[in-house]
Amino acid sequence: MLTTGLVVITVALAGAALLSLAVGARDIPFGTVMHALVNPSDSRDDLIITQSRIPRTLVGLLAGAAFGLAGTLIQGVTRNPLADPGILGVNAGAGLFVVIAISIFSVTTLTGYVWFGFIGAAITSVLVYTIGSVGRGGATPIKLALAGAAVTAALTSFTTAVLLNDVDTFDQFRFWQVGSLANRGSDVVVQSLPFLAVGAVLAFASARALNALALGDDVATSFGQNVLVARLVAGLAIVLLCGTATSMAGPIVFIGLMIPHVARAITGPDHRWMLPYSMLLAPLLLLLADVIGRVVARPGEVQVGIVTAIIGAPVFVILARRRRLAEL
């Protein structure tokens, strides 16, 4: 049954990718899309597909899969169903380093943003884990969440201070900050793919450990799991996946929060199934949100980060209310 579900979602994802290639400010017939994929020419429609929409769709597929996997991992590591990848300061760290890239190093291309954003996400995540590990008990879920919140607040303040005093930096940063798949080239895909591949391997390797951690550290230890190593491996996967995805597409919110709940509702709490479901469901949602953003404001578009926020905000409220009622 669960295998059949993966097949169905894969087919739906392929349909969403095809829709992403066909729909935009200029709609292109599906026949033309297939021709451009198989035997591209120098026609206007083929050039739009090969030079703009294929890289955009690939970024959506890769970033969505990464956000979905990272969201499932962070909820498993922290044992907090309301956590998302930003809890480790990934978004705040990436954002600060993108601002530094623009303001100090005069970086103006998305290719440059990717590297600075990734480095910022990685450094911040290590900092959060180090702070959360101080004291008795090591890196407990509560301590990691508190450390992440504190570091995020501090980095966001630094970022805001720079932007308030540098209008040019703010003008460039805001297009990355809102979250978008537009204007992403194939070079971004090529550069990001190795990091995402390693992150995905580490994520799936963490599945059994996350199942044990869900029962508590003491129980996981009694099952032979090294809790520290398990969290480090999962944490490295989160840094690689979410750091790279955030650098590629900006801090797109709510994907990493919503999708693990949808996957859990289908598969149950087994991370061996949750992870592949999240990896497919997240890009499906992201691509459909991107298509909606292109349709509702023609000939312009609404950035995908805004669409996912509109969808995700009420979902987050529902999840929070259910969590609160469950604790009463």
pLDDT tens figures, 15-63? 999 999 999 888 999 999 998 999 888 888 999 999 999 999 999 999 9
pLDDT over threshold 90, residue 132: no
For residue 94, give both structure tokens.
Answer: 């990436």
What pLDDT sits at residue 165?
86
Among residues of the chain, what percentage have pLDDT more than 70?
96
Mean local confidence (pLDDT), 278-301? 92
Mean local confidence (pLDDT), 103-115? 79
Mean local confidence (pLDDT), 164-175? 82
What pLDDT sits at residue 130?
87
Cα radius of gyration (the chain): 20
pTM: 0.90
To the nearest 10°, report the CA torsion of 247, 77, 279, 94: 0
Choice among 279-288, 291-300, 309-318 with the minimum mean pLDDT:
309-318
What pLDDT sits at residue 164?
86
For residue 85, give both structure tokens.
Answer: 């990848």
Choice among 85-99, 203-217, 287-301 with the minimum mean pLDDT:
85-99
pLDDT over threshold 50, residue 325: no
Choice among 14-28, 125-139, 245-259, 309-323 with the minimum mean pLDDT:
309-323
What pLDDT sits at residue 323?
56
Mean local confidence (pLDDT), 199-222? 91
Number of neighbours of residue 189 by Cβ within 10 angstroms: 20
Confidence of residue 94 (pLDDT cuts 50, 70, 90): confident
Confidence of residue 320 (pLDDT cuts 50, 70, 90): low
What pLDDT sits at residue 327?
47
To the nearest 10°, report the CA torsion of 222, 228, 231, 237: -130
Q: Angle at the Cα of 264 (from 258 to 269), degrees rounded to 5?
A: 135
What pLDDT sits at residue 328?
41
Query: Does domain 2-327 fall into CATH 1.10.3470.10?
Result: yes
Nearest to 65 by CA among 283, 306, 285: 283
Mean local confidence (pLDDT), 82-102? 84
What pLDDT sits at residue 69?
96
Mean local confidence (pLDDT), 175-182? 82
pLDDT over threshold 50, residue 128: yes
